[in-house]
Amino acid sequence: MSAEITGVYKRLLDAWNGGDAEAAAALFADDALVVGFDGGHIGGVEVPAGGTYVAKIRRVWDGRMVHAIVGVVPPGSYDLDPALNAVHTVVVEDGKIVLFQSTPAKYMARPDLAASHNAELTPLLLTGDTLG
**C-beta neighbour count of 102 within 10 angstroms:** 19
* Pairwise CA distance, residues 24 & 128, whole Å: 20
pLDDT, tens digit (0-9, with 9 covering 90-100), for 33-88: 988 776 666 665 666 667 899 999 999 998 899 999 999 999 999 899 988 999 99
| pLDDT at position 97 over 90 | yes
pLDDT, tens digit (0-9, with 9 covering 90-100), for 109-132: 888 888 899 999 999 988 989 898
pLDDT of 37 reads 72
Please give the helix or strand (H or E) that residue 104 lies within, else none. strand 96-104
Beta strands 28-35 and 96-104, pairing class:
parallel
pLDDT of 74 reads 93
- pLDDT, mean over the chain: 89
Confidence at 21, pLDDT banded by 50, 70, 90: confident
pLDDT of 27 reads 95
pLDDT of 122 reads 92
Amino acid at 3: A
Q: Give φ, ψ of 9 to 5 degrees.
A: -65, -40
23: left (phi over 0), alpha (psi -120 to 50) or beta: alpha
Amino acid at 84: L
pLDDT of 72 reads 93
